[in-house]
Amino acid sequence: MAELKSGIRRWLIPGGIIVVLAIVAATVFFTVGRWLVVEDSLVHADVIVILSGRLPERALEAARVYRAGYAEQVWISPPVSAVDDLKEMKISYLGEDFYNEKVLIAKGVPPDAIRILERPDANTEEEVRQIAEDLRNLKFHSVIIITSKPHTRRVRTIWRKLVGSEPRMMVHYAQEDTYDGAHWWRHTRDALDVVRETLGLLNAWAGFPLRPSQN
């Protein structure tokens, strides 16, 4: 009997630790999808910026925000693409930024209110650096960044780490985004979003040790 009690006591603490870790892991698993989604209250800004990706939902949202009177300009951030390589083979590729511009115009944004940023960026960190640099060069003090739901927390985190509070950034997600943070494990795209955004946040918190590959 004494040996049995001793054995129980010996396994009680490790067993308790395992149970606690299991509860923590389950809590993180079921809540991380919603935790990734944040959004700021909008006030008038100097410019709206569409981050690259998820055509056309981000452009559609930017057009809505523009028509609501929150800014007088819309900037488009172009992604790194195979335009030059395809051009050498005489293959026409217009690029995501071209179609984002067409969506904006179709939804009532005047062409002279649209600007495509000059430098294609490989990731969100590079996009944030370029946007902040352009804002400061133009003496602008505020921006509304349009992205997708699961990407919002990473955008906010990167902006705060690289830029700070000036210029002011408001992050806003596309209302037509179908991301389901409460059940992210049920859909492949949502699951990939959660994994990518979680890894991206870890990289940001660690000081950006991982960089985009240079081709």
For the entire predicted model, the pTM comes to 0.89
**Mean pLDDT score of the chain:** 91
pLDDT at 39: 97
What residues does each domain of the chain span?
Answer: 36-176+196-205
What pLDDT, on a 0 to 100 scale, did the predictor assign at position 211?
A: 81
Q: How many residues does the chain have?
A: 215
Quote the pLDDT of residue 88: 80
So what's the pLDDT on residue 147? 98
The pLDDT tens digits of the residues spanning 54-86 come to: 999 999 999 999 999 999 999 999 998 877 777
Higher confidence at residue 8 or residue 119? Answer: 119
Q: Do 150 and 33 contact (CB within 8 A), yes or no?
A: yes
What's the pLDDT band for 152 if we cut at 50, 70, 90? very high
Contact 114, 190 (CB under 8 A): no
Confidence tier at 89 by pLDDT (50, 70, 90) = confident
Beta strand residue intervals within the chain, DSSP E: 47-50, 74-76, 114-116, 142-147, 168-173
User: Which is it for the CA torsion 103, 106, 108, 109, positive or negative?
Assistant: positive
Q: How far is CA 142 from CA 69, 73, 107, 126, in A?
A: 14, 12, 23, 18
Cα separation of 116 and 107, whole Å? 17
Residue 15 has pLDDT above 80, yes or no: no
Structure tokens at 124: 């969100």
Superfamily of domain 36-176+196-205: HUPs (3.40.50.620)
Q: Using pLDDT thresholds of 50, 70 and 90, give the confidence band for residue 53.
A: very high
Lowest mean pLDDT, pick from 5-9, 24-28, 105-109, 180-184: 5-9
